[in-house]
Structure 1
Amino acid sequence: MDNRTPIIELIGLGKIYNNKNSSVRALEDINLSIYEGEIFGIIGLSGAGKSTLVRCINYLERPTEGKVIFNGIDLSKVSEKELLKIRQSMSMIFQQFNLLMQRTALQNICFPLEIAGVPKKEARKRAYELLEVVGLKDKAKAYPAQLSGGQKQRVAIARALATNPKVLLCDEATSALDPTTTRSILNLLKEINQKLGITVIVITHEMSVIEEICSRVAIVDKSQIAEIGTVEEVFMKPKSKIAKQLVFSGANHIEIFEGKDKLRIIFDGRTSFEPVIANMVLECKTPVNILFADTKDIYGKAYGQMVIQLPDDESGKKRIYAYLETHKIPFEEVI
């Protein structure tokens, strides 16, 4: 990957906000290369500095220290007029969609083209094409109030694509959406990245979003980059304290497992791709403790055994027995 051209380079980037009585450091010594055509994630808890970082990337906020290099151009060295032109290559989508309520979906998409001085007929043609790209061809005349959250975000994505950007900055773009809509928006961003070759930068506080869509991730903590790597590396072996906190959120963490009864589950050729234990835990809503496992994959079939410890909760145990019997999974009690 390092052989590819970085489309964005951040070198020693820092941002300090000064007011009358004090100064607040929002970013400190950020060094980052984002490569052309990748989907890059920036994650951190609230107040870590993610939104300031994205606003420094497109120079909506001027950094106090360091450089932002976009497509080989040092943004600190260009005029305001040139900067406006460069910003057309870095479109942004937001958590709250930021659509103009008095304009139809089509007119919202036309808006950045009007600002760029594109003739009306040409702008409308482009807007119709983009409505098709985001799957809203039939909503051209609908106003934002008539659209669902997911549809509004699709219009916002179409508007962001209007100026043919090289980079799409997504600042918490799915935070206001339900899980199903979030997945459809992330799939759309993935499609746009693959078909149009646009570099996508995803800013979020949700690890599930990073896992779903990104190839690499930078973890921001207390105004600095705590860790950077491929999503697989960070998920498998998180090094920093904040990475461990984000990966192992502990939402369903069990400190001590109490239970005496044990079962041996036999795998006798079920497909290796069927997550038997995970499905059982989800369906029965009962945790189990895996004491021993010896399974192997032979031509896509699972063979072997697993010994699990059941919780003391009687109704939970009954659900597990019923699940195993219903799904014809061989098992026996272990003394």
Structure 2
Amino acid sequence: MRQIYYYSMLLLCPLMTLAQEVKLKVSPYVNATTSIKEGLIEAGPELNWEKVADGKTFTLRPSIRLPLTNEAENVLQIDRFTSTWKSVLAAQFTKDNTQESGGISRHSFTGQFEYGHAKFTYYPGGDQSFSISNGKNSYAFEIKYAGFFSKGQSGAAQFSPQFRLRYARDWQAASEVSVLNTPSPGGFTTVSDLIVDPPSVRPVFSPAFSLQIYPGKGNFSYSPTIYYDFTGNSSDNGPFGSLNRLRLESWIFFYPSVTDSPNVKIGISPFLSLRTKGTDSFNKAEYGGMITLKFGTSFLQFL
């Protein structure tokens, strides 16, 4: 019963996720881009090559991704001294088969590589006079496909199937624990919050599929989505040895203005997460709800 109350509150007080993207053309083939999404800022050039007659576009995006805040100090952390940066290289190829008359058909393929280096400091045994610092390399690979199909008529339905494969091996710092300090001469004992365990890494492989549907009229679109996450054992390279979870979502997006600014959308979805292999700190079945507010995204963009 407590679980039902907890997730009822989650539905009433959901997490708001903001996303904003800005693009500025600096030459016929180069754009300067900046995006803010899920607490991260990503900036870099975007290089475009187009063959309009063939409906082909190739885009290359090298960029740097940084966290907007420091979790411990809650301050902006976008200078060159941050230790949690990531470099990202993404390449996208789009083939538009749309003709002057008839239906609309478009296919887009994206490959992305991410690399980052972070320094982790911890205090074995809780001794503040002795610390160990290690630098660790994190990386990820991602492949995406997005299609778009419509009859090309006024009021015709629009469909956008989207598929993603992602592999990530990201090092994470251990959680802080409370450690008793040596008593003062007056007999007073204080407590410090320290990280006493070394960082850890668990590889994750995550396929995902979403079908974006716009009925052609009105201010709503619909997006059933499936994720399946494979998580490996600590320090392994393979992701298939430990934990599997299936996640089901069913998004409904509202567009305040479909004609003037369709890239602003508000979404709500229930979710169901099922553990199909292994153990973790969550229940075998978890459920709840989410709300998201997105800016600067394509009309039916999701994954």
In which range does the TM-score fall when normalised by the shorter chain? under 0.3
Q: Where is the strand percentage greater, Structure 1 or Structure 2? A: 2
Q: Report which of the two structures shows the higher radius of gyration computed on alpha carbons.
A: 1
The structure with the greater share of residues assigned to helix is 1
Q: Kindly indicate whether structure 1 or structure 2 has the higher relative contact order, using CA contacts under 8 Å at least 6 residues apart.
A: 1
Normalised by the length of structure 2, the TM-score is 0.23
